[in-house]
Amino acid sequence: MAEEYKYEYFNVTFPAEYVAHVEINRPEKLNAFVEQMWLNLSAIFKRLSHDSNIRSIILTGSGDRAFTAGLDVTVIDRSPQAASQGTLSQSSSDSARTATALRRHIFEFQGCITALEKCEKPIIAALHGISYGLALDISLACDIRLCAADTRFSIKEVDIGLAADIGTLSRLPKAVGNFSWVKDVCLSARIFGSDEAEKVGLVSGVYGGKAEVVSEGLKLASLIASKSPVAVQGTKEILNYSRDRSVEEGLRYTAVWNQAMLQTQDVKDAMLSGLQKKTPRFSKL
Amino acid sequence: MAEEYKYEYFNVTFPAEYVAHVEINRPEKLNAFVEQMWLNLSAIFKRLSHDSNIRSIILTGSGDRAFTAGLDVTVIDRSPQAASQGTLSQSSSDSARTATALRRHIFEFQGCITALEKCEKPIIAALHGISYGLALDISLACDIRLCAADTRFSIKEVDIGLAADIGTLSRLPKAVGNFSWVKDVCLSARIFGSDEAEKVGLVSGVYGGKAEVVSEGLKLASLIASKSPVAVQGTKEILNYSRDRSVEEGLRYTAVWNQAMLQTQDVKDAMLSGLQKKTPRFSKL
Amino acid sequence: MAEEYKYEYFNVTFPAEYVAHVEINRPEKLNAFVEQMWLNLSAIFKRLSHDSNIRSIILTGSGDRAFTAGLDVTVIDRSPQAASQGTLSQSSSDSARTATALRRHIFEFQGCITALEKCEKPIIAALHGISYGLALDISLACDIRLCAADTRFSIKEVDIGLAADIGTLSRLPKAVGNFSWVKDVCLSARIFGSDEAEKVGLVSGVYGGKAEVVSEGLKLASLIASKSPVAVQGTKEILNYSRDRSVEEGLRYTAVWNQAMLQTQDVKDAMLSGLQKKTPRFSKL
Amino acid sequence: MAEEYKYEYFNVTFPAEYVAHVEINRPEKLNAFVEQMWLNLSAIFKRLSHDSNIRSIILTGSGDRAFTAGLDVTVIDRSPQAASQGTLSQSSSDSARTATALRRHIFEFQGCITALEKCEKPIIAALHGISYGLALDISLACDIRLCAADTRFSIKEVDIGLAADIGTLSRLPKAVGNFSWVKDVCLSARIFGSDEAEKVGLVSGVYGGKAEVVSEGLKLASLIASKSPVAVQGTKEILNYSRDRSVEEGLRYTAVWNQAMLQTQDVKDAMLSGLQKKTPRFSKL
Amino acid sequence: MAEEYKYEYFNVTFPAEYVAHVEINRPEKLNAFVEQMWLNLSAIFKRLSHDSNIRSIILTGSGDRAFTAGLDVTVIDRSPQAASQGTLSQSSSDSARTATALRRHIFEFQGCITALEKCEKPIIAALHGISYGLALDISLACDIRLCAADTRFSIKEVDIGLAADIGTLSRLPKAVGNFSWVKDVCLSARIFGSDEAEKVGLVSGVYGGKAEVVSEGLKLASLIASKSPVAVQGTKEILNYSRDRSVEEGLRYTAVWNQAMLQTQDVKDAMLSGLQKKTPRFSKL
Amino acid sequence: MAEEYKYEYFNVTFPAEYVAHVEINRPEKLNAFVEQMWLNLSAIFKRLSHDSNIRSIILTGSGDRAFTAGLDVTVIDRSPQAASQGTLSQSSSDSARTATALRRHIFEFQGCITALEKCEKPIIAALHGISYGLALDISLACDIRLCAADTRFSIKEVDIGLAADIGTLSRLPKAVGNFSWVKDVCLSARIFGSDEAEKVGLVSGVYGGKAEVVSEGLKLASLIASKSPVAVQGTKEILNYSRDRSVEEGLRYTAVWNQAMLQTQDVKDAMLSGLQKKTPRFSKL
């Protein structure tokens, strides 16, 4: 199975039953992202999404120093010219044509990160060290955020002259209930630590060092993987759906979702196991 | 008046002027819910909603051990077969027909809990002890959540093989500003205590024991009941409306709401009482 | 430039490059608002919004005692009769006609406060002392809220017989991730302090006294003003847009916004300055 | 079965297999509505919605002269005083309290008409003669509108001093693609005939006289009743859902709906019958 | 009264009780628009909106040849440079800064046209002759569209290199129920006549010549002006609101609107007049 | 270039400058669709979307008899079992697992058809002969629908036991302004002809035979291809966006879109050409 998950810049392993561990692997560059990396990130999670051997996922960064330092600006040129080369067959000095190239580029990049949110299985991001820019875009598309005490966060984009456009500005106001703080860190690009991240609810757990947070993340991933995948995947789906809509819309969607899902054998198996104090075993999904 | 509020499994009393106290009353079973209970819960709150003698409500669970342990799984069979018997006139082995029965059943059950949110008067849930599953669905449909220090919460549904479908997954992301934590407790079904509930903002007050939280809840209910019912009921309505929509939609609805409500005598009475340091008396609503 | 910003009841100064300081100036009345004040407030921020000499703004209240005590009820009569005089050419005893006058009046008042949210430049509210009623409406339309330790907040409206209709009820549930607390303070009108405000996330910083919070606010305003105005203004725009819509809508809008904005010279200047450890200088916007 | 459907002012018959015929029956008053009538109308359609013996419904008015002339204004007093008596336990001269009574009354009345839209089985309205006011509210909550050549329509409400509030103003702009015409007839209250109704798409068929349109309606109802009820009811549900939302939302809901419904035996039965040129028989739903 | 409505490029007259006639008056240039014209158009309709002497409005173009030929491209330069001069204090060659100037300019221009949609009184557009570009933007913001047989329409914008941005593309798909045709005329910029406009529902009436359509428009305006202004203005408001939202949202808003408006004396007056076959007289609004 | 567009079951040609002609090519089976066909259809339009040599597209069916007869039910098994094989690695008899497989399958299929709506260049569908089921799903995702006089349409899905789930039910109510007719044809599955299709606005033009409609479609495609691609593509984008949202949202998006696009050279070129009565030439996009 590991063979199927060979992607440059990533290690994908399977540390426990039904659990995948995806590691960003470019430690010599603080796991800074080049374009191939977000393409591969997306490919990995699209595959995991439909892989019936997987029920939960942990995402980490290799090395001691960084989850990721963000975009590798020494390699990636986010300038219009660069974008044009990627998606328009000719370079152009016309603003509308450059805009078209940029828009296509942003949509593609956003889509790669949104692949994590759309992945049917829950993803736990375990952050440590430098966690700048794209670190936020990526971890906000995950379901649960844990971090090591040494984590330093920054929403860096205004410092390079742009409004963050890969997801942070759209997801952060819905992940954290302190809009004043959200604006503060997005407008100032200041670095903040794990205590502050926990206090405002950006992360739901802080652990000693990288080893610890990864270990805790794995424990949580294993716990989730032991539950009915019908229940777990439905819960992720409905929570994401409801975040973006009225309670009334959420309730209706939930009922229509569960009109199929309550027919599963898992309900009976889970209930019986509960009564018998046994660990249930669920079919693949 | 108490005569009108005789419903099996509930005690409804009137401990202070304009205040109703609804107590879930099946302590020998940890206040676990059978179907008649949610039907009665809904009936009580629909009646209170239009009862001009009532301006605020406190909801508690009887006994020392539990607000409610959730569904009584020893009696309630949430299986498709059971749902079919309830709402389709013949049993069926066809998945689409079973789905229809399940959907109708979920909509009816959701509607009973939503009756609390739609109740025009504010509801304070005072939780204690075991508060699992349905305890969350119910208290999230209330307006204010207080709890005793010994409260143990759990969003239990994944442990019985299903995604919670009576309201928790739609309301919790909007009640608590920590989406990572929301996913953690919904996906893991783990038990958490009052400190954690307060820290993330699930409850807005923790008090010593059950007696204390109920007493505090009553004090708050009495305070609210002393205000203009036009002001209080408008405030509940607009807050719930705005939670689910854009600020712009919220403002428009508010203006249209208040074009009628500002014509009330209560504004003059309240202002005059304020200047005279007297307690205003408001007409029934 | 200061000449252009002479408005009764307000002091507008320019304490640092690209920074404006707007001070509510009616200290003898605890900065309580009369109608001319919200009209002027709106005019000032509409002008600042398009003033290319300004990149960030701090809003404070003059005097030691109050940011603002809210509406000046000794002068402003929010009664239907008063509203009718303002916007209908004849007084009327017909409820529908009075409703029309009231609705027009509320829309106009709301619009004055929303002018702060629509102002293209970020606004930092630095509160102190008495901060009641309109203090919340106004500061919730700002981007960042800081306060002095002595600040006393209250959402006073239910105490004068009405549901707050100038913005608090629509913005607060989206600014603070604790819906139980939001309902508590909106329904009870109780006074709460800076600690509570910080704990629930209504403010993102508490500082010793008024002098300190204003000084910190200015520092933050100066920091933001040193960044690319293209990046900063885009960030404010997208955060406000995303707060009110689904993540998917937010991402799409962001891409279309940035298809123009990424073409700016600021990206190159900011990147180069970053590499050279120099302070970038950006063109006016 | 007819026994179960005995409701004052209505005849409910079963003219063909799986088909119900609901006739408004107060011909001596041009089928004008008194309150008991909309309560009964709602009760009938709620029952039909879950009655597995019914797959489609036709709605008509008895007598030669009218589908319905609308509200019986000689009996129904839509004044605030009347509404107050219905839903507030005391009469009141306070505008806010009167508004509350009116709002509750409107919501209840709207809910009775919306029961037709929510009825899971398709409803064909066959109109003739006088079809004023409530005739539009009711038929717009049906799925298909047919009419006799002599039908005279009018959205009468502005002529009695009010904006129509039971459904016409919300449903008509989505039923007919000519917003200029919609405004014309709603603002002028003018009477228009079947030709005009057909031209703008308010009705999808015009037939000679009442007998003819009822006969055609029955034929169509029978045709629909011969199809798979899983397919038919899903089609109604998804069309109504999609009318009110973006295409993207519609597609998502459709997929989640059909993940259950495609598991039905009806697909196989329908396909097989198609190949064998036989009439399929479907299980009850 | 006419004195108050003196605006360059427009004639405002009062041909009947409660009716205003606004005439675009630059016939020597086919009523082509220069900037002052849309500013004045907006000012006129904002004033009419709150003018209690007016209950309905007709909008026409002076001269025989055109309602309006659209923008006066010989005078108005919609280029970025021109926009920059208007709203940014310095010219700029930076794309992001130019974009900001353009966006502000478009928002201001859109706002002027939207003033017609927001005008509380119904507006009837009576078109004739050349009706290009802005003629569509403007008339689609009106409530009812009538035209003379000789009217020639064109959505001209693609022929000058841009997507129409003042309202046509947002309002046309909701005014006309033929999305294929909408795309055809918007993408091809072809000229079409009154027959086609009527067939697809862009106009709800075609009359012989200009004199006839203006006369018919006045008749309709007078009819509407004879009705209760509470009923008429509520009907316009709710129809526009409902066009843009779900039926469920429309119903809720309607109920909250009418909880105030049904308290009007107009209902009694209208009903009584109806019974007495007399013409009712309503108070000003 | 034609080399790049070799896809089984399709002919892609380039009959005029900037115009592509996509022909469904399985005439021996009435162009009925097997799975590879919708995958290829999607691939073709995704490529055309970003191909700067193409500015408009016409879509037709090969052969005399059919645009397409819909799904090839002799080959495609839409049963749960079949879907399971495609997307779940093991067959399953658990309803929830089957539902998951079906949902993934529907989403993938929907996505292939939505690729036409998302294609940045306008698409003209020219239909003829048998146009059943998928013919509607596909042509409703196109921009303009023309048909030959002999076209026979049918929304066939209820006849095979299911609610149409690939797009028709979500797009048809927004393409045609006659909701009664929409329900009629969707619920009855009856066949209707070109006259009816034109009358209700499903198609915007009917032409003699297949040769004629294809010729007219090409003419229209050529006309559109001669316009500024910045203008044309913006127009398609904004019309689709606005169809699904409020006018207010549409206007805002339009302004943000055009803040980039108005900076194009095309505006100047188009205006100048207009004045000089010359045909403009626009750069690639």
| pLDDT at residue B107 in the model | 98
Chain E residues with CB inside 8 Å of D163's CB?
230-231, 234-235, 237-238, 254, 257-258, 261
The number of beta carbons lying within 10 Å of the beta carbon of residue E36 is 11
Chain F residues with CB inside 8 Å of E73's CB?
271
| pLDDT at residue C83 in the model | 66
**How close A257 gets to chain D, by Cα (Å)?**
6
d(CA A95, CA F263): 6
Give pLDDT tens digits for B235-276: 999 999 999 999 999 999 999 999 999 999 999 999 999 889
Residue F263: closest C-alpha in chain A: A95
Q: In 3-state terms, what secondary structure has residue B163?
A: coil
Selected for mutation to probe chain B from D52, D238, D262 (highest B CB count within 10 Å) is: D52
Give pLDDT tens digits for B84-115: 655 544 456 899 999 999 999 999 999 999 99
Chains with ≥3 CB–CB distances under 8 Å to A: B, C, D, E, F
Q: Enumerate the CATH 3.90.226.10 domain ranges in chain B, comma separated.
A: 2-225
Residue F179: closest C-alpha in chain E: E177
Q: Do the beta carbons of residue E200 and residue F201 sit within 8 Å?
A: yes
Of D50, D52, D230, the CB nearest to B96: D230
Into which CATH architecture does domain A229-276 fall? Orthogonal Bundle (1.10)
The average pLDDT across D51-60 equals: 98
Q: Do the beta carbons of residue F46 and residue A111 sit within 8 Å?
A: no
Of D176, D248, D262, the CB nearest to F78: D262
Strand ranges, E, within C128-249: 130-132, 144-148, 152-154, 192-193, 205-207
* CATH class of residue range C2-225: alpha beta
**How close C238 gets to chain E, by Cα (Å)?**
14
Report how many Cβ contacts below 8 Å link chain A to chain F. Answer: 76
Selected for mutation to probe chain A from B78, B87, B178, B246 (highest A CB count within 10 Å) is: B178
d(CA C92, CA C78): 16
| pLDDT at residue B237 in the model | 98
> How would residue A275 be classed by pLDDT, with cut points 50, 70 and 90?
confident
- Verify whether the Cβ–Cβ distance D88 to B52 is below 8 Å: yes
Chains with ≥3 CB–CB distances under 8 Å to B: A, C, D, E, F
- Single-letter code of the amino acid located at F86: G
Selected for mutation to probe chain C from F256, F259, F264 (highest C CB count within 10 Å) is: F256
Q: Average pLDDT of chain A?
A: 95
- Verify whether the Cβ–Cβ distance D179 to E178 is below 8 Å: no
Chain F residues with CB inside 8 Å of E110's CB?
251, 254-255
3-state secondary structure A250-284: HHHHHHHHHHHHCCCHHHHHHHHHHHHCCCCCCCC
d(CA B142, CA B154): 17
Chain F residues with CB inside 8 Å of C256's CB?
253, 256-257, 260
Residue B102: closest C-alpha in chain D: D260
Give pLDDT tens digits for E145-183: 999 999 999 999 999 999 999 999 999 999 999 999 999
- Which residues in chain F land under pLDDT 70? 79, 81-92
d(CA E20, CA E221): 9
- Single-letter code of the amino acid located at E176: V
Give rounded-to-5 percent helix, strand, coil for chain F: 50, 15, 30
> How would residue D81 be classed by pLDDT, with cut points 50, 70 and 90?
low
The number of beta carbons lying within 10 Å of the beta carbon of residue C276 is 9
Chains with ≥3 CB–CB distances under 8 Å to D: A, B, C, E, F
Complex-level ipTM: 0.97
Chain B residues with CB inside 8 Å of D263's CB?
94-96, 99
| pLDDT at residue D268 in the model | 94
Report how many Cβ contacts below 8 Å link chain B to chain D. Answer: 76
d(CA E191, CA E209): 19
Cβ of residue C159 closer than 8 Å to a chain B Cβ: yes
Of A102, A174, A243, the CB nearest to C259: A102
| pLDDT at residue B73 in the model | 83
Cβ of residue E240 closer than 8 Å to a chain C Cβ: no
| pLDDT at residue D236 in the model | 98
- Verify whether the Cβ–Cβ distance F102 to D262 is below 8 Å: yes
Q: Enumerate the CATH 1.10.12.10 domain ranges in chain B, comma separated.
A: 229-276
| pLDDT at residue B165 in the model | 97
- Single-letter code of the amino acid located at B41: L
pLDDT at D242 over 50: yes
Selected for mutation to probe chain C from E46, E51, E52 (highest C CB count within 10 Å) is: E52
| pLDDT at residue F158 in the model | 97
Cβ of residue C235 closer than 8 Å to a chain E Cβ: no
- Which residues in chain B land under pLDDT 50? 88-90
Q: In 3-state terms, what secondary structure has residue E231?
A: helix
F-facing residues of D in 34-93 (CB < 8 A) are: none
Quote the pTM value.
0.97
d(CA F83, CA F101): 6
Cβ of residue B182 closer than 8 Å to a chain A Cβ: yes
Chain A residues with CB inside 8 Å of E95's CB?
95, 98
d(CA D63, CA D25): 8
| pLDDT at residue B89 in the model | 43
Chain A residues with CB inside 8 Å of E98's CB?
95
- Single-letter code of the amino acid located at E105: H
Chains with ≥3 CB–CB distances under 8 Å to C: A, B, D, E, F
Report how many Cβ contacts below 8 Å link chain B to chain F. Answer: 4
d(CA B54, CA B19): 6
- Single-letter code of the amino acid located at B203: V
Stated length of chain B: 285
User: What is the residue-level pLDDT of chain E in tens, covering all 285 positions?
Assistant: 778 899 999 999 999 999 999 999 999 999 999 999 999 999 999 999 999 999 999 999 999 999 999 999 888 777 776 666 555 444 568 999 999 999 999 999 999 999 999 999 999 999 999 999 999 999 999 999 999 999 999 999 999 999 999 999 999 999 999 999 999 999 999 999 999 999 999 999 999 999 999 999 999 999 999 999 999 999 999 999 999 999 999 999 999 999 999 999 999 999 999 889 999 999 999
d(CA C113, CA C116): 6
Cβ of residue B255 closer than 8 Å to a chain C Cβ: yes
**How close D207 gets to chain B, by Cα (Å)?**
36
